[in-house]
Amino acid sequence: MTDSTAETLASLREQPLPFCELHVHVEGTLQPAAIFDLAERNQLTLPYRDVNDLARRYEFTDLQSFLDLYYDNLSVLIEERDYYDLALRYLTRAHAAGVRHVELFVDPQAHNMRGVPTGSVLGGVSKAITQATELYGLTAEIIVCVLRDQPVAAAHRMLESVLASGIPLTGIGLDSAEIGNPPALFKKVFEEAHSHGLRRVAHAGEEGPAEYIWQALDDLGAERIDHGIRCLEDDALVTRLAVDRIPLTVCPLSNVRLGVVNELGELPLRQMLERNLVVTINSDDPAYFGGYLDENLEACIAAFGLNYTDLKSLAMNSIQASFASDARRAELMSELST
Ligand code: ADE
Ligand code: ZN
């Protein structure tokens, strides 16, 4: 570790910054040991010898190779309490990482297609949020994601079921296999979600082209882009994102583990910041990609030589980019100026 990395880490320990985590999939926080615990509780037999055998499979060549394992592992989540335990364990870890506000992605379709009702999924997650707020003072909200590699009609059914559940939601997102599944396909679902007051975000420009980011903005009305790192291939798009202050929720360790970049140093984080893009740092699927928010920040401090001032602007971006209430954002912002 260089002296400057050690110095930045020490400053961050002495004066923690109020980060918001805006891109984390609750299903992506399912650790190998928890998969075995849940399988035992639900009397399921896993196709793995033990935790180590499962953990050894956490090597990915691209997004699809990860999604194959991610969806397989969901088989252990059945009852509302499974979702509660999963979400509360993540929120506890996020609190330990210094996270003050979370916007948690949930994939209802991935559970509905296995016969688990939306009420169990969102009920468990929302009760965990209430508990975490009580225990840690952390705030958290739910964003349901459309699986873009499933039919458009399934996305409409998902939206109907989450609205019918009556469980408070903040937004709608778009995730799963990106290439070949352009955002524009889901224009109507997003319009419908917007008419019910949901905020709109979309994964775009992770593996897919800059054109998908344009579609997310123009067809879906996305207020934030998840990943979005391929925007740098299109100057007019960079200008649009910078002028309209559209945040990009970048996930450094995810990009390395999914082969979007060969190594962290190749991630164009500095270029994005230099071009005035509103970048935030996030963990995506921390159980699979080797790091929660604190570990993503530490990796970036080491790879890009970020100093405390850089971290302060990343924390500020995360607060400004969040969908937290005005009062909560003001509260977190005030901690930055002390
Ligand atoms: N679902 C969970 N993680 C994802 C990612 N990184 N990209 C697209 N869909 C996802
Ligand atoms: Zn993601």
pLDDT of residue 1 exceeding 90, the answer is no
- The active-site residue out of 80, 141, 206, 223 is 206
Is there an atom of ligand 1 within 6 Å of 28 CB?
A: yes
pLDDT tens-digit readout, 102-121? 999 999 999 999 999 999 99
Task: Give the number of whichever ligand sits closest to the CA of residue 181.
Answer: 1
How many other β-carbons are positioned within 10 Å of the β-carbon of residue 53? 12
Q: Is 101 helix (H, G, I), strand (E, B) or coil?
A: strand
HSE-up of residue 96 (Cα within 13 Å, Cβ side): 9
pLDDT band for 337, please (50, 70, 90 cuts): confident
Q: What kind and span of H or E run contains 24?
A: strand 19-25
Using CB atoms within 10 Å of the CB of residue 104, give its burial: 0 to 12 exposed, 13 to 18 middle, 19+ buried. Answer: buried
Pick the CATH number of 3-333 from 1.10.10.10, 3.90.1570.10, 3.20.20.140, 1.10.3720.10: 3.20.20.140
Q: Is 21 helix (H, G, I), strand (E, B) or coil?
A: strand
Distance 317 CA to ligand 2 centre (A): 18
pLDDT tens-digit readout, 259-315? 999 999 999 999 999 999 999 999 999 999 999 999 999 999 999 999 999 999 999
Q: What are the sequence ranges of the domains in the chain?
A: 3-333
At 109 the pLDDT is: 98
Q: What share of the chain is helix, strand, coil (3-state, %, to 5)?
A: 55, 15, 30
Can you tell me the distance from the alpha carbon of 174 to that of 217, in angstroms, rounded to the nearest whole number?
A: 12
At 219 the pLDDT is: 98
What integer is the mean pLDDT of 170-177?
Answer: 98
CA distances from 127 to 23, 42, 140, 316 (A): 20, 20, 11, 28
pLDDT of residue 97 exceeding 90, the answer is yes
At 2 the pLDDT is: 86
Q: Is 141 helix (H, G, I), strand (E, B) or coil?
A: strand
Among 109, 248, 285, the mutation site with the greatest number of ligand 1 atoms within 8 A of its Cβ is 285
Q: Any idea what DSSP says for residue 96?
A: H
At 40 the pLDDT is: 98
Distance 23 CA to ligand 1 centre (A): 10
pLDDT of residue 144 exceeding 90, the answer is yes
CA 176 to chain centroid: 12
At 68 the pLDDT is: 98
At 139 the pLDDT is: 98
| Nearest atom of ligand 1 to the alpha carbon of 176 | 9
Question: Is 59 in the active site?
Answer: no
Strands (E), 87-241: 99-106, 139-147, 171-175, 199-204, 224-227
pLDDT tens-digit readout, 200-217? 999 999 999 999 999 999
Among 206, 251, 253, 261, the mutation site with the greatest number of ligand 1 atoms within 8 A of its Cβ is 206
Contact partners, residue 25, CB within 8 Å, separation at least 6 = 104, 105, 106, 107, 145, 175, 284, 285
Q: Map tokens 């020490």 to a residue.
A: 10
Give CA torsion, residues 92, 246, 227, 147, to 10 deg.
80
pLDDT band for 3, please (50, 70, 90 cuts): confident
pLDDT of residue 100 exceeding 80, the answer is yes
Backbone angles phi, psi at 286, to 5 degrees: -60, -30
Contact partners, residue 229, CB within 8 Å, separation at least 6 = 205, 206, 248, 250, 255, 260, 267, 268, 272
pLDDT of residue 338 exceeding 80, the answer is no
| Whole-number average pLDDT of the chain | 97
Q: Whose CA is nearest to atom 6 of ligand 1?
A: 284
Angle at Cα 207 formed by Cα 201 and Cα 209, nearest 5°?
80
Phi-psi region of 11 (alpha: psi -120 to 50; beta: other; left: phi over 0): alpha
Is there an atom of ligand 1 within 6 Å of 285 CB?
A: yes
Can you tell me the distance from the alpha carbon of 325 to that of 179, in angstroms, rounded to the nearest whole number?
A: 34
pLDDT tens-digit readout, 6-41? 999 999 999 999 999 999 999 999 999 999 999 999
